Each structure stands twice: as C-alpha cells, then as structure tokens.
C-alpha cells in the first residue's frame, strides 16, 4: 500500500523545500520536491533526495546511553530513559547547588530549522533553570545585525522575482551549491538576456557558469561596495529621486565614499580598477538589477560592514523600485512569529538568579569551556549541533570537551564527534518523525510538517525530551506541559498582518502558505516606496561609520602573522554536504578532504595536483589533498567544510585552523578570516 504525505526539509538551507513523501507499508521509500510549491518547483537537492540513507541508517542512535570508556572515546552502554533522565536531573541539580545555574550551558544551532524542536521547550527549560544564555552567532550574526541596522528589516527581494532581473550579482553566493532553488529563476532571467556576475575569492561551480567572475580578497567586500558607490556618485548615476524621497544622510555618504577611489579599492580588493569602474556603471544603469548576497561575505572580521555597505547599493540606484530589483540576503525577518510565547524568556525570573543570566557566545565555545570562571561551565547540553566539528578553534573546543569535570549531554540522531565526547547520549527523532513549523530564510512561505514515520528504537523529539527533563527537575509551570500544537498556535498568534489568515488548521490543510507580504499573485516589493524599518522610516546613509580596514588575519593585515602564514584560507560550504550533517557519507568526506590552491602558490611550494599537503597556523594543523588550478585567487586557499573530524587522518577538520575572533557586528563568526601556510607532506 502506498500513499503520499507532505513534509518540509528541516535543514539549514535558504530553500526550505516542500516535500512529498512516499510511504509504502509504513516505510518511507521516496522524498521529492512538491511541484506545486512556487520555489521548490518539484525538485530537491541531491543531498536530501538521498536522505533515506540517514533515516534508515544502521548508525542511528536508538537508545539512551551512558559513557563507559574515556571521554571522547565514544564507548557507551545502553540505559533506560528513566535512568538517563534521573541522572541528568541529579547532575544538573548538584551543579546548580554548587556553582549556580549559569554553570549550565546549552549549545544548539540549526540541525533542524523547526521552531518546536529548535527554539521552544528547550529554551523554556534553560530559562527556567537560569542557565547561561547562548548567543547563537555561528552563522549569520554579523549580517543579521548589519541588515537590521541598515534597512531596519531583515528581508529583501523575493526569489521568484529574480527571473525579471537583467543584471544579477551573486556576491559571496554559491547558488548552485547552497541555494539551488534560486537557480531556475536565474536561468529564466538569462534566457531573457540577463547577465550574471559572481564576486567571490573562489570560482566555485556557480562562478564557473557565470558570465563573469570577479576574484575578490576575502573580507574586502565593504571596500568594493564603497568603491562602486564612489563611481556611482562621481558619475551621477544614482537615483536622485529615490534618494531624496526615502533616505537621509546622503551628504555624509558622499563625503565618505570620496575616500574610496577605484585605484585604492583595487589594492584593497584585488580587482582591477577598470573592472570596478565598469561594474559600477553597469550595475547603476541596468534595470532591474538584483543582488543575491549570501552569508559568505559576512563570515569575516569585516563582515558586518560588508553587508552594511553592499545593502546601500540598491538604495542609491533605486533598484528597489523594480520587480526583479533589489537585494536578498535573508527573508527570515518577514516571519513575525511570537517567539516570546514559544521561548518564554520571562521564566528566567523564576530561576532564582535575580538578574539576567550571563551570555556566552557560541563562537567562543573553546574559551567558555576552558577559561570561564565565576562560575565555570560544568554542564554542557548539546542538541541540533555538532560543535566538535563546526565550531572554530577546534583544538581549544576539544580541550574543553575533554575536561573530566565537565558533564556533557548530547541529543543526537547519529554518532557525531560531539556525541563521542558525551557522558550521556540521548537519541533524537528526525523531521520525518516529529511535528514542526518552518520559517524560511530564502522565501516567503510558512510551512507545517507532521510526522510520517515511526521513530526507531526509543528516539524522542527534542521538545519531548525537554518536557521530560523539566518534569524531572520539578518545574511545575503549565507551559512545560504544552503540546507541540499549543506551541505552534502561540507562535502564530502574533497579530502581525503578514500572518493574517495563517493558522495551524489552514497550514494543516495546505502544508505551506505564503506570508501576506503582498496580495495574492502580486510581487512583494519591500522597499519600492521606502518603508525602511528605521525610526524615521527613511534609510539613514550616515548611520554607519563606513571605514574599511583589512581584517587582522589577512594578507593586508597583521604584518607578523602574514609573514608566517601568507595564505588566506576560505573554508566555504561543500556542495555535496550540509555543514556536518552528511559527514558520514563518503562523497562528502572526499569533497571535504581537498584543498584548492592557485598554481603559482603551489609551484612556489613544490606542490602538485593530488599531493598530500599539511595546512597549519598557530591554532592547529591538518592534512588534505591538494587541487592545483586557477579557481582560487592567488594568495587564497579553499577547503570545503564541514568534515567529520573522526574520518580525517588526524582527527581534526578545517576548524582546527579557523579563528574564534569575533566579527565587527553581532558577535558573529570569522571563519573566513584565517591565515595559514601550506606545505607538501614529506611522507
Ligand atoms: N550544499 C550546501 N548547502 C548549504 C550549506 C552547506 O554546507 N552545503 N550550508 C547552509 C548554511 S549553514 C548556510 S549559512 C547557507 C549559506 O551559505 P553561504 O554562507 O552562502 O555559503 P558559503 O559557501 O559559506 O559562502 C558562499 C560563498 O561566499 C564565498 N566567500 C567566502 N568569503 C568571502 C568574502 O570575503 N567575500 C566574498 N565576496 N565571498 C566570500 C565563498 O567562497 C562561497 O563561494 O547555505 C546553506 N546551504
Ligand atoms: N570552517 C567552517 N565552519 C563552519 C562553517 C563554515 O562555512 N566553515 N559554517 C558555519 C555555519 S554557517 C553554521 S550554520 C554552523 C553549523 O553548525 P550546526 O548547526 O551545528 O550544523 P550541523 O553540522 O549540520 O549539525 C547539526 C547537528 O544536529 C543534528 N540534528 C538534526 N536534527 C536534529 C534534531 O531534530 N534533534 C537533535 N537533537 N539533533 C538534530 C544533526 O544530526 C547534526 O549532527 O557551522 C559553522 N561552521
Ligand atoms: S537542503 Fe535545501 S535544497 Fe536540499 S531539500 Fe533541503 S531545503 Fe531543499
Ligand atoms: Mo549557516
């Protein structure tokens, strides 16, 4: 007997695909994209088409387990849920008594993007406990803060409208790898005569198909944007009417960008001065012009400034007026859920702490585990994340996880590196086995997914695990007994007009619904007539001090560092994987075991294609296989992330090299401001 059910891809990807699931005799036999969904359009990426290898993997964690071996060894014994929950509750209670509640640190990110399993009962639990508050900065914090400070709203051009653009800048955006459902719209645009340019230190698959690729120095995008604005203003190519109507602070901007003539910007960015001039003219005079900027540009020390400066471009040219014009970084700010109702930060007042709990930036997990005092972190509870693989400064993270006095709980689907470090491992369900509500950061559809498969063994959803833990901890507030549906209803009841008509019942019936950002069938033009989310409603060009300096960790940065480590490492996303989620697959392991190096840099080091090389800096050292060519800029090396460290010869991945220095805004991560040296392996 076969039937088709709806679901939603839960992964950390802008596309948030609507899925159709084939069930045969209770077993899921096929996943495909919903042909009716306007962005999914009937296809899935390859990684999720093959998701059933994960769903039915013999590696799935099935039962609660307790560590029997040494820390990190990954040897466990099966225990019952009762034993596991009792032990966790007792350990937490003792830690809270001895060290205070802030000695407990949650660690979660986007293993699932669902609201219920990602940011509801878990948050309630930690607020009620008075645990340290985790700042979830590892991905998008700098860009998020920059967009909020500049446009005032974190949304932009609808993906469906890119088909109308005539010039498309893919700025730090590997569309084919990390946002494949935008691609068909770009193809349509090209058929109507559009040109596509990529701006990236790496010529990835998307760059190879673009009409033109601009190699840019990592972390120098703010300088390029300032240079483009310099030319646009100097040549009078801006939209004076749009600027007059909807902005303020124009004179301050004009004054600022005067300091960024093409020659200076050429030195900072690595682009040729005439290319900067040409790009500025073409961008300002082609309509509609759309920019797809992705998070790659803000994963650097100057990432906030980069997003600020880039997002001023369509304001200056008035590109926001056009269907198919504007800029897209994220759409997530358009989903006005009542997050407070789901997460209940007010519960912290019951914790006995008597003040807001301290904040711990997730990018600096290694420091938190090894340096924090008053109180030290004594318990770490990990879910929806794999910090032993994904966090920067990995050697420091591992030193922290190895602490004998640290009590670590990991809620996981698979035996990740992080799970190997746990004292207690709890088995989690997959998206096919639990309920959730999904916003998107790449389109404007809200979606609901119901379980379609039975959990294997004794796996439970995160929300249920935190309900049970709350009960064990004696948290009696009624909110700890709320069902998943209660949580979803509360989150939907924000009263915001974008959610008008969107209820649990309506979602249940249809699966996905477009936000009421525009009337049915009409494009969403977020800033065509101003409407910026600033105090005055106008965009303020003078809000930011647009002063660019190269990152400390760059070839134009700290002189001492760059003399020892003269190459900049960009550890961009793999095409075949999704962060560390599919690290168990051989194809992902192969892709993440390579490092791309420019032929001139390779020749200078006696490195040939296929050689085994060592990449190192003061933080660590790893071995990879060299790919020599011209798809990275000179002075840049590129490795795909994120490998499962335990599959690597040295038990480390590229994050053994990356820095836990913070970005210029939002406390964001700086994975791509990273100096290294590369040498041929002797053996
Ligand atoms: N296949 C696949 N898809 C994914 C993911 C994945 O791991 N694999 N990860 C998901 C996640 S977590 C996210 S956040 C999203 C978004 O993911 P993105 O952040 O957009 O992906 P990245 O590959 O990190 O970066 C995009 C591009 O920016 C480039 N880049 C790096 N530094 C700079 C710079 O300083 N300037 C410029 N101009 N470009 C730079 C990189 O070389 C890369 O080609 O993708 C999601 N989708
Ligand atoms: N070098 C380098 N490092 C990076 C990046 C980079 O580009 N380069 N990118 C950074 C970025 S953008 C991000 S977003 C982070 C990603 O960091 P993470 O969000 O930690 O991403 P994943 O590696 O995908 O790990 C998610 C884990 O959650 C688990 N999981 C999935 N669903 C559930 C569930 O329902 N319940 C529970 N309990 N677990 C679940 C999965 O099995 C998986 O092991 O990595 C960052 N690290
Ligand atoms: S990972 Fe992205 S492209 Fe692939 S199915 Fe999920 S949402 Fe769609
Ligand atoms: Mo991310």
For 83-86, which contacts have Cβ atoms below 8 Å and span 24 or more sequence positions?
A: 84/424, 84/426, 85/468, 85/469, 85/472, 86/472
pLDDT in tens, 120-140: 999 999 999 999 999 999 999
d(CA 31, CA 17): 11
Ligand nearest to the CA of 113: 2
Instruction: Count H helices and E strands in the chain, helices first.
Output: 26, 27
Asked if the model's pLDDT at residue 393 lies above 90, the reply is yes
The per-residue pLDDT for 323 is: 98
Give yes or no for residue 15 CB within 6 A of ligand 3.
yes
Q: What is the pLDDT of residue 659?
A: 98
Tell me: do 88 and 227 sit in the same domain: no
Nearby residues of 50 by Cβ (< 8 Å), 6 or more positions away: none
pLDDT at position 410, please? 99
Q: Which residues pair with 428 in a beta bridge?
A: 460
Contact 148, 370 (CB under 8 A): no
For residue 33, report the distance from its CA to the centre of ligand 3, in Å: 9
pLDDT of residue 68: 98
Whole-structure pTM over 0.95, yes or no? Answer: yes
Structural domain including 302 reads: 156-329
- Using CA atoms, how far residue 453 sits from 17, 60, 438, 447, in Å, is 18, 14, 18, 18
Selection from 674, 563, 635 nearest residue 219 by Cα: 674
Q: Which ligand approaches the C-alpha of residue 416 most closely? A: 2
- 107 and 221 in a single domain? The answer is no
Query: Nearest to residue 482, comparing CAs of 145, 124, 201, 160?
Result: 124
Same domain assignment for residues 206 and 119: no
Q: Do 49 and 69 belong to one domain? A: no
- Pocket test of ligand 3: the residue of 44, 54, 111 to mutate, having most ligand atoms within 8 Å of its CB, is 44
| Separation of CA 510 and ligand 3 centre (Å) | 20
| Whether residue 263 sits in one domain with residue 322 | yes
CB-based contact 317:239 (threshold 8 Å): yes
In a domain? residue 106: yes
Q: Which of 98-112, 373-387, 425-439, 535-549 has the lowest mean pLDDT?
A: 535-549
Backbone angles phi, psi at 274, to 5 degrees: -70, -25
Verify that 107 and 240 share a domain, yes or no: no
Tell me what the mean pLDDT of segment 506-513 comes to.
Answer: 97
Percent of the chain with pLDDT over 70: 100
* Domain final residue pick, 329, 358, 383: 329
B/e letters for 335-347, b = 16+ CB within 10 Å, e = fewer, are bbbbbebbbbeeb
Helix (H, G, I), strand (E, B) or coil at 57: coil
**Residue 350 shares a structural domain with residue 299:** no
With both helix axes pointing from N to C terminus, report the angle between 141-150 and 303-317 in degrees, rounded to the nearest 10: 40
> Is the domain of 226 the same as that of 317?
yes
pLDDT at 682: 85
Average pLDDT over residues 425-436: 98
The predicted model gives 20-31 an average pLDDT of 97
Q: Are 664 and 305 in contact (CB under 8 A)?
A: yes
Q: Is residue 543 part of a domain?
A: no
What average pLDDT does range 151-172 have in this prediction? 98
CA quadruple 194, 196, 197, 201: dihedral, nearest 10: 170
Report CA(555)–ligand 4 centroid distance (Å). Answer: 25
The torsion angle over the Cα atoms of residues 486, 491, 497 and 501, rounded to 10 degrees, is: -30
Residue 295 resides in a domain:
yes
Q: Which pair of tokens denotes residue 589?
A: 């392991």
**What CATH number is associated with residue 31?**
3.30.200.210
Is the pLDDT at 683 greater than 80? The verdict is no
pLDDT in the model for residue 523: 98
- Residue 549: inside a domain: no
Tell me if 44 CB under 6 Å of ligand 1: no
Spatial separation of the C-alpha atoms in residues 460 and 362, rounded to whole Å = 25
**Is any ligand 1 atom within 6 A of the Cβ of residue 672?**
yes
Tell me the CA distances in angstroms from 428 to 85, 434, 465, one per residue in order. 14, 10, 9
Domain with 675 in it: what CATH number? 2.40.40.20
Q: How far apart are CA 637 and CA 427, in angstroms?
A: 38
pLDDT higher than threshold 90 for residue 544: no
Q: Is residue 295 lining ligand 1, measured as CB closer than 6 Å? A: yes
Residues 6+ apart with CB under 8 A from 330: 14, 140, 143, 144, 147, 154, 155, 156, 441, 442
Q: How far, in Å, CA of 243 to CA of 218, rounded?
A: 30
Q: Is residue 305 part of a domain?
A: yes
Of 289, 304, 329, the last residue of a domain is 329
Nearest-angstrom CA–CA distance, 41 and 184: 9
Q: Which atom of ligand 3 is nearest to the CA of 40?
A: 8
Same domain for 173 and 250: yes
Q: Is 551 in the pocket of ligand 1 (CB under 6 A)?
A: no
CB 31 within 8 A of CB 49: yes
CATH number, position 77: 3.40.50.740
Q: What is the mean pLDDT of residues 252-281?
A: 98
pLDDT interval class at 293 (50, 70, 90)? very high
Q: Whose atoms come closest to the Cα of 577: which ligand?
A: 1
Q: Which two tokens stand for residue 316?
A: 């200056």
Does residue 180 line the site of ligand 3, with CB under 6 A?
Answer: yes
Euclidean distance between CA atoms 238 and 249, whole angstroms: 15
Structure confidence at residue 33 (pLDDT): 98
Q: Do residues 102 and 130 make contact, with C-beta atoms less than 8 angstroms apart?
A: yes
Average pLDDT, the chain: 98
Q: What distance in angstroms lies between residue 11's CA and the mean position of ligand 3's atoms? A: 7
What pLDDT score does 545 carry? 86
Co-location of 131 and 164 in the same domain: no
Instruction: List Cα–Cα distances, 534 to 152, 444, 540, in angstroms.
Output: 5, 22, 8
Q: Residue 552 domain-assigned?
A: no
Q: What integer pLDDT is reported at residue 316 of this predicted model?
A: 98
Q: Whose CA is nearest to atom 8 of ligand 3?
A: 17
**What does the alpha-carbon distance between residue 65 and residue 86 come to, in Å, rounded to a whole number?**
13
Same domain for 37 and 84, yes or no, is no
- Spatial distance between the Cα atoms of 279 and 153, rounded to a whole number of angstroms: 27
Examine the domain organization and report whether 255 and 319 are in the same domain.
yes
State yes or no: pLDDT of 245 exceeds 90.
Answer: yes
Most informative mutation of 15, 176, 294, 580 for ligand 3 (most atoms within 8 A of CB): 15
For residues 421 and 408, the answer to whether their CB atoms sit within 8 Å is yes
The domain tally of the chain equals 4
Percent of the chain with pLDDT over 90: 99
Ligand 1 pocket test: pick from 294, 302, 658, 663 the residue with the most ligand atoms within 8 Å of its Cβ.
294
The predicted pLDDT at position 1 comes to: 80
- Whether residue 335 is contained in a domain is answered as no
Q: In the prediction, which pLDDT does 596 show?
A: 98
pLDDT tens-digit profile of 193-234?
999 999 999 999 999 999 999 999 999 999 999 999 999 999
533 inside domain:
no
């Amino acid at each position: 007997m076969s039937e088709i059910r709806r679901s939603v891809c839960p992964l950390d990807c802008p596309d948030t695909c609507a899925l159709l699931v084939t069930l045969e005799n209770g077993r899921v036999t096929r996943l495909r994209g919903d042909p009716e969904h306007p962005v999914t359009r009937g296809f899935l990426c390859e990684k999720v088409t093959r998701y059933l290898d994960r769903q039915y993997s013999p590696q799935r964690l099935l039962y609660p387990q307790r560590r029997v071996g040494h820390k990190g060894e990954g040897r466990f014994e099966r225990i019952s849920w009762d034993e596991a929950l009792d032990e966790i509750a007792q350990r937490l209670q003792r830690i809270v008594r001895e060290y205070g509640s802030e000695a407990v640190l949650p660690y979660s990110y986007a293993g699932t993007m669902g609201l219920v399993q990602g940011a509801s009962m878990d948050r309630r639990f930690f607020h009620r406990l008075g645990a340290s508050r985790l700042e979830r900065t590892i991905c998008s914090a700098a860009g998020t803060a920059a967009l909020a400070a500049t446009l005032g709203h974190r949304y932009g051009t609808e993906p469906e409208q890119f088909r109308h653009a005539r010039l498309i800048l893919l700025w730090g955006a590997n569309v084919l790898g990390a946002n494949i459902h935008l691609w068909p719209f770009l193809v349509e645009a090209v058929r109507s005569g559009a040109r596509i340019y990529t701006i990236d230190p790496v010529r990835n698959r998307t760059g190879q198909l673009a009409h033109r690729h601009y190699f840019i120095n990592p972390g120098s995008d703010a300088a390029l944007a300032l240079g483009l604005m310099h030319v646009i203003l100097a040549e009078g190519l801006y939209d004076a009417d749009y600027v007059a109507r909807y902005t303020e602070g124009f004179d301050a901007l004009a004054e600022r960008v005067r300091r960024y003539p093409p020659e200076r910007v050429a030195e900072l960015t690595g682009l040729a001065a005439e290319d900067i001039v040409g790009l500025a003219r073409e961008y300002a005079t082609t309509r509609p012009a759309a920019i797809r900027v992705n998070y790659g540009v803000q994963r650097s020390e100057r990432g906030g400034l980069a997003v600020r400066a880039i997002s001023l471009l369509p304001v200056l040219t008035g590109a926001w007026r056009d269907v198919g014009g504007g800029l897209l970084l994220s759409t997530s700010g358009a989903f006005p859920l009542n997050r407070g109702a789901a997460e209940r930060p007010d519960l912290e007042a019951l914790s006995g702490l008597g003040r807001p709990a301290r904040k711990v930036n997730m990018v600096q997990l290694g420091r938190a585990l090894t340096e924090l005092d008053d109180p030290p972190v004594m318990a770490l509870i990990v879910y929806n994340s794999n910090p032993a693989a994904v966090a920067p400064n990995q050697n420091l993270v591992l030193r922290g996880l190895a602490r004998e006095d640290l009590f670590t709980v990991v809620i996981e689907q698979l035996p990740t590196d992080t799970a190997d470090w746990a004292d207690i491992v709890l088995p989690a369900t997959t998206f096919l086995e639990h309920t959730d509500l999904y916003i998107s950061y790449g389109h404007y559809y809200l979606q609901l997914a119901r379980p379609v498969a039975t959990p294997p063994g004794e796996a439970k959803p995160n929300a249920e695990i935190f309900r049970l833990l709350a009960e064990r901890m004696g948290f009696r507030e009624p909110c700890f007994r709320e069902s998943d549906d209660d949580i979803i209803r509360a989150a939907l009841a924000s009263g915001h007009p974008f959610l008008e008509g969107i209820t649990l019942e309506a979602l249940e019936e249809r699966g996905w619904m477009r936000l009421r950002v525009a009337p049915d069938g009409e494009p969403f033009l977020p800033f065509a007539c101003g409407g910026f989310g600033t105090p005055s409603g106008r965009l303020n060009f003078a809000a930011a001090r647009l002063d660019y300096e190269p990152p400390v960790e760059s070839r134009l940065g700290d002189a001492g560092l760059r003399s020892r480590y003269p190459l900049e490492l960009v550890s961009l996303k793999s095409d075949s994987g999704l962060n560390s989620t599919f690290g168990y697959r051989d194809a992902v392991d192969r892709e993440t075991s390579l490092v791309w190096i420019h032929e001139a840099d390779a020749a200078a080091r006696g490195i040939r294609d296929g050689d085994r090389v060592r990449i190192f800096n003061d933080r660590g050292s790893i071995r990879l296989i060299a790919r020599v060519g011209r798809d990275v800029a000179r002075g840049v090396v590129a490795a795909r992330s994120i490998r499962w460290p335990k599959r690597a010869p040295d038990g480390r991945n590229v994050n053994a090299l990356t820095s836990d220095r913070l970005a210029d805004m939002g406390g964001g991560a700086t994975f791509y401001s990273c100096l290294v040296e590369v040498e041929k392996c002797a053996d």
